Amino acid sequence: MDCRQYFDRRGGQGPRASKSDWFDIARFPRAVFEAATFEQTEKGFVARARVAPRRKQPVSLPFTLEIAGETARMDAKLDLDRTTFGVGQGMWAASDMVGKKVTLTIHVEAKRN
């Protein structure tokens, strides 16, 4: 994801969040999700990946995948600690003003051509 485009379109906290103590988009203009493996589980699938809004960290992303006819739907939800990735430094590292927990929710639909 190109973080520069995201923060350029945001109002409110967008300009503050793009600074060095948060996402530091001048040094880290892209947020990356690099999947290494996929495994099937009883409840769906798990993608073993590395995520990097700033600092790459391993994650396990559980997700469901439904394929019906020509359409595939993928849904995932994962709770992360923003400080693990270096997001929110200095006075923002504490959780008294901004919580550390961030919920990543993903929904993707794809249609076959």
Following DSSP, what letter does each residue of 2-68 receive, concatenated?
Answer: BHHHHHHH--TTHHHHTSTTTT-TTT--B-EEEEEEEEE-SSSEEEEEEEESSS-EEEEEEEEEEEE
Confidence of residue 8 (pLDDT cuts 50, 70, 90): low
pTM: 0.76
User: In this predicted model, what pLDDT tens digit does every residue of 45-82 receive, in sequence order?
Assistant: 999 999 887 778 899 999 999 999 999 999 999 999 98
